[in-house]
Amino acid sequence: MNDASLAAKRAEKIRAFNRFYTGQMELLDERLHHSDFTLTETRILFELAARRTVVANDLVRDLRIDAGYLSRILGKFGSEGLIERTPASHDGRQMELSLTAKGRACFRPLDDAARAQIIERLKLLSDREQRELVGAMGRIEALFGRNTAARGVPILRELQPGDIGWITHRQGVLYHEEYGWDVSYEALVANILGDFGIGREKARERAWIAELDGRVVGSVFLMKASEDLAKLRLLYVEPDTRGMGLGRQLVEACVSSARECGYKRMTLWTQSILTGARRIYTQVGFTKTAEEAHHSFGHDLVGETWEMNL
């Protein structure tokens, strides 16, 4: 199949998904949620409610809506007393738009109905399926809007069933894509996490899973080396979420917990080529104490031991 045929086939898959989704969410109804507003009108009301004040040009840009069409909708809202216009503080030639009390009262039941509709759909899914759904939606948003989409706030949570397999898979894929490491690295991760999942001492060994918009985007593990020595292991952060401070947040959570658990020292093993991780370790307070050349994962590498007193 040539590139044009493959692109056309994928485009049809996406169009089919769009048709499925709009049908599931009843977005083709002439009046959304049995209200007096269309889907476009409801979206504009949402933007006005969320932003408090905004100028029309921002709505044209962000919603990719025709300026004339938007003007007609705003004219309707104005005649119904749903919005008010005031000169923009940054440019008196433009008018800031905001909802009136009546406008907010009209929007509130629409917002409640939309939320209730989604909650009813989610009730048909297990907790795991719900997280998979949200994660898939977050991934679509990240791929289509890499440079423009607003991101949510990452959260750190405890280990859950399914995480060990997923993290093993992602580490294997990412280190192969970025450094060319072979399957022996994935096997090493599988062995480490398999032992952790079966025999960990829960009071003194923990994991932190980073989620962003329902998608797992990183993790780190605190493991016991001895009564006094803790090990930080298997730190990773997804490429599209780097630069958000997530790696440091994971490392700091691990170090803080090691102190609380009563460890006296902490150690980790990394590779000289992992410059981003090494920078975090330095910032947090680790010091490199040893290095040794070795051949692993299909490559000649320089392994490094880093330590810190707690």
In a domain, 16, yes or no: no
Residues 162, 276, single domain; the answer is yes
Cβ contacts of 174 within 8 Å, gap of 6 or more: 236, 238, 239
**Residue 36 CA: distances (Å) to CA of 79, 107, 235:** 15, 11, 51
Say which DSSP state 33 is in: G
Residues 64, 170, single domain; the answer is no
**Residue 7 CA: distances (Å) to CA of 4, 17, 90, 287:** 5, 15, 44, 50
Percent composition of the chain: helix, strand, coil (DSSP 3-state, to 5): 50, 20, 25
The count of structural domains within the chain is 2
In a domain, 23, yes or no: no
In a domain, 24, yes or no: no
Q: What is the pLDDT of residue 149?
A: 44
pLDDT in tens, the chain (310 residues): 667 788 888 888 888 887 887 777 666 555 555 667 788 888 888 888 876 667 888 888 878 888 888 889 999 989 999 888 888 766 667 788 888 889 888 888 888 888 888 888 888 888 878 877 877 776 777 677 654 444 567 889 999 888 999 999 999 999 998 899 999 999 999 999 999 999 999 999 999 999 886 788 999 999 999 999 999 999 999 988 887 889 999 999 999 999 999 999 999 999 999 999 999 999 999 999 999 999 999 999 999 999 999 9
Q: What is the pLDDT of residue 269?
A: 97
In a domain, 26, yes or no: no
Residues 190, 287, single domain; the answer is yes
Q: Read out DSSP for 197-247?
A: HHH--TTT-EEEEEEETTEEEEEEEEEESSSSEEEEEEEEE-GGGTTSSHH
Q: What is the pLDDT of residue 265?
A: 96
Which residues on adjacent β-strands are paired with residue 209?
Answer: 157, 219
Q: What is the pLDDT of residue 64?
A: 82
Residues 165, 302, single domain; the answer is yes
Domain limit, last residue, from 124, 147, 181:
124
* pLDDT tens track for 63-114: 888 888 888 999 998 999 988 888 876 666 778 888 888 988 888 888 888 8
Domain range spanning residue 35?
31-124
Residues 100, 231, single domain; the answer is no
CATH code at position 77? 1.10.10.10
Residues 98, 173, single domain; the answer is no
Domain limit, last residue, from 107, 124, 141:
124
CB 184 within 8 A of CB 296: yes
In a domain, 8, yes or no: no
What are the tokens at 279?
């920078």
Across the chain, mean pLDDT equals: 86
Q: What is the pLDDT of residue 33?
A: 58
In a domain, 89, yes or no: yes
Residues 162, 304, single domain; the answer is yes
Residues 284, 199, single domain; the answer is yes
Cβ contacts of 13 within 8 Å, gap of 6 or more: none
In a domain, 7, yes or no: no
Residues 193, 305, single domain; the answer is yes
Domain limit, last residue, from 124, 143, 177:
124
Residues 84, 226, single domain; the answer is no
Q: Read out DSSP for 174-190?
A: HHHHHH---HHHHHHHH
**Residue 93 CA: distances (Å) to CA of 51, 108, 175:** 20, 31, 53
What are the tokens at 123?
């009730």
Residues 118, 220, single domain; the answer is no
CATH code at position 199? 3.40.630.30
In a domain, 200, yes or no: yes
Residues 47, 167, single domain; the answer is no
